[in-house]
Structure 1
């Protein structure tokens, strides 16, 4: 996917992982400048844990994202994109506590979209099982994924480009799951 991001400044906050790296590479290859080069970025990528983590508390990251979103609003424009586990939209039985934390992030995404609109678009990518060596999600998700294979980091990065595309100016407060159909699945035993 090709989009035009010349003179666009992108900042990543949060977890460094192969998915976040692929998203940054895709943005960079479409003309964005990646790194802390502007006081307030044009696009903020908030990378949260994509593998289940016991005891995870996203409060600090959410407060930081909200503060940046408010600065974008004051400036008059911006985008915030959260990289979250697909468990934000569909809880996993084996990872109940983590699912609750991710659901809270999704509620924050939607609240930020209400508060910061129309100047700032706020969305999330719900990432399922990604990578042959699973770097996101839970390997058990694959048994319920419609496509019956793990996704690739490139597939997540392409979806991130959709949210960051300047031509996409009407999508906000949404989570798009890149999970091979896992969240559309059926009764889960994990």
Structure 2
């Protein structure tokens, strides 16, 4: 096969061979169109996505429910500092203990063992954190002269374990909500509440 035969074969296979040749003006227009540069807006999609994310984030931040404010626990201290108070006065009679009430009223709740009693202050080692107790130890004043006492002996004793609940301002919950670990029903109350 010669070059001429090959050219003839290519001409027969060309689908544009049957078309009328383009005018010089049309060819010039097509060449100019191919060479001219059209600005591409590649920034439009990312900007639109960023605006959607910004609007969604703003709506989420404005409409979400406020979480419980975390108050730094005043009763946690590496070096024990008195911070949980035994409330003075209070109701003359205690209501029945309920897990819902304990969950609602207690900001701090923990199990702890008395490691030191000094000058009316009781130092406890936290053995189990039920709520918001992150530190190793706590200092609590010994309850004196309160009409409501803790179940058991009514006082903290060296070496014994206790379940203690306190409000956000550090007032210890009495009326059966704080007491010796082996007090009937107290551990179950804590397990149900937390």
TM norm. shorter chain > 0.5: no
Which structure features the higher share of helix residues? Answer: 1
Q: TM-score, normalised by structure 2?
A: 0.22
Report which structure shows greater RCO (CA 8 Å, sep ≥6).
Answer: 1
* Structure of greater Rg: 2
